[in-house]
Amino acid sequence: MPEVKSIFREVLPKQGQLSMEDVPTMVLCKPKLLPLKSVTLEKLEKMQMEAQKAVKLQELAMKEQNQ
């Protein structure tokens, strides 16, 4: 990261304590891969497909009984 030049010039004391402030910097981390579908959405889709299959089976059973 390039150094930022400040308007103020540094003055180091010849006596006493020297204190320094820590300036937070940006830290880049690896990108996180997100799933295209959430687990909840997958569960809901699975439940919906099972319900549709059950309805189709009931409809077929009703047709067979009527014939």
pLDDT value at residue 66: 82
Residues 6+ apart with CB under 8 A from 37: 45
**Is-above-0.85 flag for pTM?**
no
SS3 annotation, the chain: CCCCCCCCCCCCCCCCCCCCCCCCCCCCCCCCCCCCCCHHHHHHHHHHHHHHHHHHHHHHHHHHHHC
Mean pLDDT of the chain: 83
Q: Which two tokens stand for residue 38?
A: 């959430």
Calpha distance 57→51 (Å, rounded) = 10
Share of the chain above pLDDT 70, in %: 90
